Amino acid sequence: MEKKERAEEILAVSKMVKDTYLKSGNPVGLSDKDFKDYLGPLTKELNLPSKGETLFYAGMYSYMGYSEVALMMEYTIASAGLSMLDMLKWLDFASKFGFKKNLLSISRLVTSRWIGAIASRFVVPKEVMEKLKAIVRQTEMRQQYYLDKIKKGIQLLKDSGFSIAYMGPEEPDYGVGLHTFGFLEDFQNLAKKNYEKFKELGVKKIITMDPIAATAFKIFYPEVVEGFDIEVYH
C-alpha cells in the first residue's frame, strides 16, 4: 500500500471511530437496545446493584466479540489486496439501504440481502465474500465467550468477599479510541461526563479486567479530569 493511501485509510478510519463514538457512545456502533438485548439477561442473572462504592467495569469485554470479528474481516480484506478504504466504500454505497458507517454495520452488511449488490459493484472475489460470511457467523459465539468472562470475573470477586456494583447495559464506554486517534477534546468531554456519572453512583473504586480501561482510568483520566479521585484496580 502506498504511503498516501495508507494515510488516507488512517484518516478515514479515525473519522469513522470518532463519528461512531459521538453517535452511539462506543467504538463499534452498538445501540442502547443492542446492549440491553444481550447484556440484559446477564445483568438480571447476576442480580447486582448498579451503584455502589466498588464498581466492576467490564469495558471492552462488553463488545469484544464484535471487535474481534471486525478485525478478522479487516485482515481477510487486506490479505485479498483490499483495504479498509474499500470496506468504507461498501458502507457509503450501503447507506442507500439504511446501513450506518460503523464496524457493526460492516458485519451486518456481509450477511444481508444487499451483499450481492456490493460484491458486483465493487468486484469482490466470491471466495473473499465467503470467508467474510464465515467470520461474521462467529459473532454470537465470540460475544458469548466474553460475556462468560464477565460473569466469571464478577463471581471471582464475589467469592473473594467483595461487595460490587455492575452497571450492565448502562455502563459508559471509557473512550480510549478517541484518545488513540488524537481527538483529545472529545475524549476529555467524555471522561468528564463519565467521572460525573461514577460520582453520582457513589463510586470510589473501579475494578476492571480490561487492561486498556485500567490504563485509561489510571493515567489518561487524571490528565483531563480535574480532581479525579477514583481508585482503579486491574
pLDDT at residue 119 tops 80: no
Which strands form 205-208's sheet, in the order they lie side by side?
A: 165-166, 54-57, 205-208, 231-233
Indicate whether 189 belongs to any domain: yes
The reply to whether the predicted model has a pTM over 0.85 is yes
Residue 201: which pLDDT band, with cuts at 50, 70 and 90? very high
d(CA 7, CA 3): 6
How many folded domains does the chain comprise? 1
Indicate whether 222 belongs to any domain: yes
Indicate whether 134 belongs to any domain: no
Indicate whether 129 belongs to any domain: no
Structural domain for 188, as ranges: 3-78+139-233
d(CA 178, CA 182): 6
Indicate whether 100 belongs to any domain: no
Specify the DSSP element, H or E, that contains 193: helix 184-200
pLDDT number for residue 9: 78
pLDDT digits (tens, 9 = 90+) for 58-117: 999 999 998 899 889 888 888 888 777 777 788 788 887 788 878 788 788 887 877 767
pLDDT number for residue 123: 66
pLDDT digits (tens, 9 = 90+) for 42-72: 999 999 999 999 999 999 999 999 889 988 9
pLDDT number for residue 2: 67
d(CA 195, CA 222): 10
Contact 129, 111 (CB under 8 A): no
Q: What percent of the chain has pLDDT over 90?
A: 55
Cell triple for 53: 462504592
Indicate whether 177 belongs to any domain: yes
pLDDT number for residue 147: 95
pLDDT digits (tens, 9 = 90+) for 127-174: 888 898 899 999 889 999 999 999 999 999 999 999 999 999 999 999
Indicate whether 91 belongs to any domain: no
Taking Cα atoms as reference points, which of 69, 70, 76, 74 lies closest to residue 128?
Answer: 76
Indicate whether 33 belongs to any domain: yes
